[in-house]
Amino acid sequence: MTKKKTILSGIQPSGRLHIGNYFGAMKQHIAMQEEGDAFYFLANYHSLTSIQNKEKLENNTRDVVLDYLALGLDPKKCTLFAQSDVPQTTELAWILGTLTPVSMMEKGVAYKDKVASGLSPNIGLFTYPILQAADILIYRSNIVPVGEDQKQNIEITRDLAGKLNRIYGEDLLTIPEEHIVKSVATVPGVDGRKMSKSYGNTINIFDEGKTLKKKVMSIETDSVPLDDPKDPETCNVFALIKLFADKETITNIAGKYKAGGYGYGHAKKELLGLIEEYFADARAKRKELEQNPGYVNDVLKEGGKKARDRAEQVMEPIRSATGLFRSY
């Protein structure tokens, strides 16, 4: 019998999740729970690099759990847990940090991008890839679903795992592979840039009613007149339609663009309907889950225990190999 591969990914509870999060990561996470031994965590340690507010971080974490469960993540098929429930992660991060050249962190593209976007250049943000490496390696992960912008951090993870293995023992850490879905690596926001909370250009997964309509109708477009033919492939609205619609609908709407007499307002109304229909069942399930907070706590408690047990199996031989010991 072939052993299932371990799949690992995390998401920061830094605010309400948007459709870029869904198509860029969450949809793949939900699908991959059927394909291997999946571990998905709420990266609340990482969130401390940008959030220093107790209530906000706690509420964000709960919201992300609700979103995942409502969208179809099944805790019976995967392990869903909070990063902070696994202390072995920070233990391994320190050991990896002692093997990390400062120059490696100085070359971090994600760090430079985040500082450029306005985040404080704190040490946590600077050493973020080391903690991310520990997140991945502590469960002997084989496959790591990530966005294109995280590819460098996976390379750092592989480098650090290889270095620790060469120094302390070849079989201590598993070398992981990234899994990047190219077709949805970048989802456009309402202003045409990559959809991101930091840009304030998001359409949240569970937006509804007037809030959802206002955001969809605010999507930026060019000034081609209504009656003129339009190129759907250069339109932000059509780029989003392609995420929600089936092939027949996409072809039909593209034909309307090219024929003329079809304005961007028409396209936005079609997009609005597609979004409402796509998330209708998940929206209803989320409202139901909100009425049972004890269930969310139970999911995280059980997931945390399973994750700690796995992490300890990896961490104990590393302590022994490095010369660390416990007197208890």
* Domains of the chain in sequence order: 6-186+292-322 (3.40.50.620), 207-278 (1.10.240.10)
Cα-based distances in Å from 167 to 140, 162, 316: 18, 9, 16
Q: Which amino acid is at 205?
A: I
Report pTM: 0.90
The question of whether 114 is a catalytic residue gets the answer: yes
pLDDT given at position 316: 95
pLDDT given at position 226: 93
φ, ψ dihedrals at 76, nearest 5°:
-85, -15
Mean pLDDT value across residues 119-135: 91
Contact 133, 160 (CB under 8 A): yes
The question of whether 194 is a catalytic residue gets the answer: yes
Q: Which amino acid is at 216?
A: V
pLDDT given at position 79: 98
Residue 111: pLDDT band by 50, 70, 90 thresholds? confident
pLDDT given at position 113: 81
Residue 183: pLDDT band by 50, 70, 90 thresholds? low
Q: Which residue has the tokens 């031994």?
A: 37
pLDDT tens by residue, 14-58? 888 999 999 988 999 999 999 999 999 999 999 998 899 999 999
Question: Which residue is catalytic, options 151, 163, 194, 242?
Answer: 194
Question: What is the residue-averaged pLDDT of the chain?
Answer: 93
Residue 1: pLDDT band by 50, 70, 90 thresholds? very low
The question of whether 197 is a catalytic residue gets the answer: yes
Q: Say whether pLDDT at 169 is over 50.
A: yes
Q: Say whether pLDDT at 62 is over 90.
A: yes
Cα-based distances in Å from 234 to 127, 230, 237, 269: 38, 9, 9, 18
